[in-house]
Amino acid sequence: MSAVAGHALSLQRVSKRYGDFVAVQDASLEVASGQFLTLLGPSGSGKTTILMMIAGFVEPTEGRVLLDGRDITALPPERRDFGMVFQGYALFPHMTVAENVAFPLRVRKLGRAERDAKVRAALDLVQLDRFAERKPSQLSGGQQQRVALARALVFDPALLLLDEPLSALDKKLRAELQEELKALHRRVGRTFINVTHDQEEALSLSDEIAILNHGHLIQVGAPETLYERPATRFVADFLGKSNFIEGEAEADAGGFVLRRGAARVVASGAPRAGRTLLSLRPEKIALLPEGATEDNVVEGRIASWSYVGTGYALTVMTPDLGNIRVHLPAWRIPVSPAEGLPVRLGWARDAAVAVAEDPGSPVPGGVA
Ligand SMILES: Nc1ncnc2c1ncn2[C@@H]1O[C@H](COP(=O)(O)OP(=O)(O)OP(=O)(O)O)[C@@H](O)[C@H]1O
Ligand SMILES: [Mg+2]
């Protein structure tokens, strides 16, 4: 593989409508050269549509697609020269692995010697050099996916588009190929744009994640930023799990206090006033042992619990804040969980973050 840098891609206010139906609404996005960006969202949120507009197979109704600052909105797909691996994107069954990988090079009319060298290098990259002469039917699903990756990379595309390339695989194999994909990205230094609805995949692979819902790009940022500082309820809920606490906020010295009935929850961050929604991750809550205290302490009883291998998932019923989900590693649980057991929950004031309601979602309690 040559040392070509990746391309920078940007979407400027891109929309796609099918009749009255809006598949993508006013999406703007910057993908820097060499970056691994993941489009993450539920089924039907517009991920494939965005990828197809980047690839050139779907024409935006509005907006522009730029490559290194150049407008490519009207450029046909074959002239964009992007590598692509789509969900269920089939290999040619009658061709060997090597012939499949050589195909894009034949189309580009490369000479035999150069072609062979590139095919070998690409198969090496996905660790399938030993399988060059097999037919796809003689490979496992994961190996076939890797051949598809090799075929997408063999012509040195500076941009690689991946639409759920791993979704058909079992969890363990998927995790292995995720590692490989990440290593591959580091090795080739190209720009990768990956589509998934697997939150863990998005968190572990990406430099940046773009979260989509109903055709809207809700938030774009580094995985840690999105997880720790979700902008909206949807982001907090989709990227992991969260508890939501709603109440009336007023500023205090360290941030703000949220009142909900008799309860008071202190939170840090910019002072807020009025109706406020807090997101509180289950793993940021502790079960307090006798005598211990925290910035926030809430009494409750265990309503249900389950052992989940990495620890315990509890639902704690609290008179003040309703049901609260808590995830604890086994070594941090001071009691044996049992239904009905009284417990005290505690969390630091910087554990919860204020999030916005999502555009178009109903306002709880009818308060505008
Ligand atoms: N050609 C089309 N005509 C009409 N509607 C379409 C067309 N293509 C896509 N849509 C609609 O646009 C929306 C977004 O589709 P898209 O395929 O981008 O979703 P997605 O996020 O990739 O979902 P999934 O995770 O299920 O693959 C969907 O509601 C879909 O039904
Ligand atoms: Mg899709």
Going from the first residue of the chain to its last (368 residues), give the mean pLDDT of each consecutive group of 10, the final group possibly shorter. 72 97 97 96 95 96 97 93 81 95 93 95 89 94 88 89 84 83 88 92 94 96 96 94 95 91 91 93 94 94 94 95 94 87 96 88 41
Residue 309 DSSP symbol: S
Q: Do 89 and 53 fall within a single domain?
A: yes
Q: Whose CA is nearest to atom 1 of ligand 1?
A: 18
Distance 48 CA to ligand 1 centre (A): 7
- Which residue range is the domain that position 252 belongs to? 241-366
Q: 169 and 280 share a domain? A: no
Answer with the one of 196, 230, 264 that is the final residue of a domain.
230
Same-domain pairing of 219 and 360: no
pLDDT of residue 138: 94
Segments in the chain forming alpha helices (H): 47-55, 77-80, 97-107, 112-125, 141-153, 171-188, 199-205, 223-228, 233-238
The residue contributing the CA closest to ligand 1 atom 17 is 48
Contact 259, 246 (CB under 8 A): no
Residues 32 and 91 in one domain: yes
pLDDT of residue 2: 45
Q: Ligand 1 centre and the CA of 54: distance in Å?
A: 15
- How far, in Å, is the centroid of ligand 2 from the Cα of 146? 20
Same domain, 128 and 27: yes
CA distances from 337 to 1, 66, 301, 324 (A): 55, 55, 10, 15
State which ligand 1 atom lies nearest to the alpha carbon of 164: 27
Q: Report pLDDT for 82.
A: 92
Asked whether residue 295 is assigned to any structural domain, the reply reads yes
Residue nearest atom 19 of ligand 1, based on CA coordinates: 44
Residue 63 sits in the same domain as residue 126: yes
Planar angle of CA 249, 254, 260, nearest 5 degrees: 25
Q: Which of 14, 21, 51 to mutate to test the pocket of ligand 1 (most atoms within 8 A of CB)?
A: 21
Rounded to the nearest whole angstrom, what is the distance from the C-alpha of residue 119 to the centroid of ligand 2? 29
Boundary residue ending a domain (230, 251, 267): 230
Q: Which residue's CA lies nearest to atom 12 of ligand 1?
A: 23
Three-point CA angle 147, 97, 170, nearest 5°: 40
Which of helix, strand or coil describes residue 57? coil
194 & 268 share domain: no
Of ligand 1's atoms, which has the minimum distance to the CA of residue 46? 18
Would you tell me how many other CB atoms lie within 10 Å of the CB of residue 324?
21
Residues 119 and 245 in one domain: no
Query: Which segments of the chain are extended strands (E)?
Result: 9-18, 21-31, 36-40, 62-67, 70-71, 83-85, 159-163, 191-196, 208-213, 216-221, 243-252, 255-260, 263-268, 274-280, 286-287, 296-307, 312-318, 322-328, 342-347, 352-355
Q: State whether 150 and 26 are in the same domain.
A: yes
Antiparallel, parallel or unpaired: β 274-280 and 21-31: unpaired
Phi, psi of 39 (to 5 degrees): -90, 120
**273 and 215 both lie in a single domain:** no
In the structure, which protein residues have their CB atom closer than 6 angstroms to any atom of ligand 1?
A: 18, 21, 23, 41, 43-49, 197
The pLDDT value recorded for residue 321 is 94
pLDDT for residue 362: 47
The domain boundary, picked from 175, 205, 230, lies at 230
Do both 189 and 256 map to the same domain? no
Q: Is residue 2 part of a domain?
A: no
SS (H, E, C) 85-100: ECCCCCCCCCCCHHHH
Output the CA torsion 231→283→201→1 (10° steps): 90
Identify residues whose C-beta is under 5 A from ligand 2, the ion.
48
If you measure from the C-alpha of residue 29 to the centroid of ligand 1, how many angstroms do you get, rounded to a whole number?
19
Residue 194 CA to ligand 2 centre (angstroms): 11
Q: What is the pLDDT of residue 192?
A: 95
> For residue 24, which atom of ligand 1 is closest to its CA?
14
* Number of domains composing the chain: 2
